[in-house]
């Protein structure tokens, strides 16, 4: 009796894990490019960039230099997107004398890779981009990430001393929160959404070989202290609960600050308050990445 019972137990566990892996591909599958923009449309000179991560993924991006500048901003795009829409932020940085490096994460747009973890693996992409910026003579680097890119910025910054400041625009604190919201949008019963979100993140961990549960800004931001961090979030953003945001800001250390816009949702703060958004972003990086 014991052997058949163990066999059935093995089969149940195996099927459960296979289901988790299947759920993970709902989020983790490769994202197609939908927007095509060039820096030339903004009157910017640029160079094509090819990066290679430490795990062998080839990334594609653009280096947009400012004259004789050693200050560089890395713009990190959101999930399902590419760097093209974020080019609209580049002219303001360029005018202020910042180089800008912008690229597609793995499994997005022009870059290689077939699977995204919305942060854990993408940290390697950001570190490869930082290495490139250093090779181009950058002595101080700022990270500005949008949504998934915000998560990546918070996870990557502690690993390079040349990173002097980090800005997260609506980077979700926990992937399980994001998965649960997306499941509810698909009319999954609320009583099942929590379990299915857990299964999704577990599947990501199995596919990537990384404990994605721990590679979350909510648990990792304490490593940032005393690095300057600006959290920008909308009060109606369902992807990060208010208590999660408060915990992140508190754990990030004495140089962390938060700008919460009550009427805004996820990634639309600059639509509600465009002038204030631009002023806060520029003031933050000018303060912590001063001209030499």
- pLDDT, one tens digit per residue, over 102-136 is 999 999 999 999 999 999 999 999 999 999 999 99
Q: Tell whether the model's pLDDT for residue 281 goes beyond 90.
A: yes
Backbone angles phi and psi of 118, in degrees to 5: 60, 35
Quick: pLDDT tens for 83-99: 888 999 999 999 999 99
Q: What is the pLDDT of residue 278?
A: 96
Give me the pLDDT at residue 15, please: 93
Q: What b/e string do you get for 10-24 counting C-beta neighbours within 10 Å, with b at 16 or more? A: eeeeeeeeeebbebb
pLDDT at 7 (0 to 100): 83
Taking alpha carbons only, the member of 49, 73, 61, 147 closest to residue 104 is 61
The answer, yes or no, to whether the previous bond of 169 is cis (omega within 30 of 0) is no
**Ranges 13-17, 224-228, 275-279, 280-284: which has the least confidence:** 13-17
Tell me what the mean pLDDT of segment 138-163 comes to: 96
Which two tokens mark 109? 């747009």
Structure tokens at 263: 């009427």
Strand order across the 229-234 sheet = 47-52, 58-64, 99-103, 71-76, 140-146, 163-169, 229-234, 256-261
How confident is the model at residue 2, as a pLDDT?
59
3-state helix, strand, coil in the chain (%, to 5): 45, 20, 35
**Chain mean pLDDT for the chain:** 93
Question: What region, left, alpha or beta, does residue 60 occupy, with left being phi > 0 and alpha being psi -120 to 50 degrees?
Answer: beta
Question: Tokens in use for 74?
Answer: 């890395």
Domain ranges of the chain: 1-30+175-209, 35-172+216-288
Task: Decide if 215 contacts 242 (C-beta within 8 A).
Answer: no
Is residue 156 within 8 A of residue 180, CB to CB? The reply is no
Check pLDDT > 60 for residue 1.
no
pLDDT for the residue 3: 64
What percent of the chain clears pLDDT 90, i.e. is strictly above it? 79
In the three-class reduction of DSSP (H, G, I as helix; E, B as strand; rest coil), residue 234 is classed as strand
Q: How many CB atoms lie within 10 A of CB 82?
A: 26
Of the two residues 6 and 216, the one the predictor is more confident about is 216
Question: Residue 163: which pLDDT band, with cuts at 50, 70 and 90?
Answer: very high
Q: Which has more pLDDT, 38 or 277? A: 277
Above pLDDT 70, what percent of the chain?
99
User: For residue 185, what pLDDT band results from cuts at 50, 70 and 90?
Assistant: confident
From the list 196, 257, 276, the residue with the least C-alpha distance to 20 is 196
> What pLDDT shows up at residue 114?
93
Q: What are phi and psi of 267, to 5 degrees?
A: 60, 35
List the one residue out of 118, 112, 159, 166 whose CA is nearest residue 142.
Answer: 166
**Contact predicate 217/156, CB 8 Å:** no
CATH number of 35-172+216-288: 3.40.50.1820
Q: Is the pTM of this model over 0.85?
A: yes
| CB distance 268 to 233 below 8 Å | no
Task: Output the CA torsion 186→187→192→198 (10° steps).
Answer: 20
Q: pLDDT band at residue 8, thresholds of 50, 70 and 90?
A: confident
What's the start-to-end Cα distance of the chain, in Å? Answer: 76
Residue 292 has pLDDT above 80, yes or no: no
């Amino acid at each position: 009796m014991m052997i058949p019972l163990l066999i059935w137990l093995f089969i149940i566990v195996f099927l459960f894990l296979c289901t988790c892996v299947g759920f993970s591909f709902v989020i983790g599958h490769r994202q197609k490019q939908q927007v095509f923009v060039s820096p030339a449309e903004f009157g910017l000179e640029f160079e094509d960039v090819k990066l290679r991560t430490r795990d062998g993924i080839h990334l594609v991006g653009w280096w947009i230099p400012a004259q004789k500048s050693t200050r560089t901003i890395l713009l990190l795009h959101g999930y399902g997107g590419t760097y093209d829409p974020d080019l609209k932020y580049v002219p303001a940085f360029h005018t202020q004398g910042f180089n800008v490096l912008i690229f597609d994460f793995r499994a997005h747009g022009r870059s290689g890779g077939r699977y995204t973890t919305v942060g854990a693996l993408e940290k390697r992409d950001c570190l490869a981009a930082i290495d490139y910026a250093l090779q181009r003579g950058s002595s101080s680097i700022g990270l500005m990430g949008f949504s998934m890119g915000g998560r990546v910025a918070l996870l990557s910054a502690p690993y390079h001393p040349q990173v002097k400041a980090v800005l997260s625009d609506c980077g979700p604190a926990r992937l399980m929160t994001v998965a649960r919201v997306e499941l509810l949008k698909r009319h999954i019963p609320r009583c099942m959404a929590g379990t299915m979100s857990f299964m999704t993140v577990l599947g990501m961990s199995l596919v990537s070989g990384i404990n994605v549960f721990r590679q979350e800004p909510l648990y990792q931001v304490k490593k940032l202290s005393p690095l300057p961090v600006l959290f920008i979030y909308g009060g109606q953003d369902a992807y990060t609960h208010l208590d999660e945001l408060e915990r992140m800001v508190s754990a990030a250390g004495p140089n962390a600050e938060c700008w919460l816009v009550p009427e805004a949702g996820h990634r639309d703060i600059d639509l509600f308050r465009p002038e204030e958004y631009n002023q806060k972003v520029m003031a933050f990086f000018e303060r912590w990445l001063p001209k030499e």
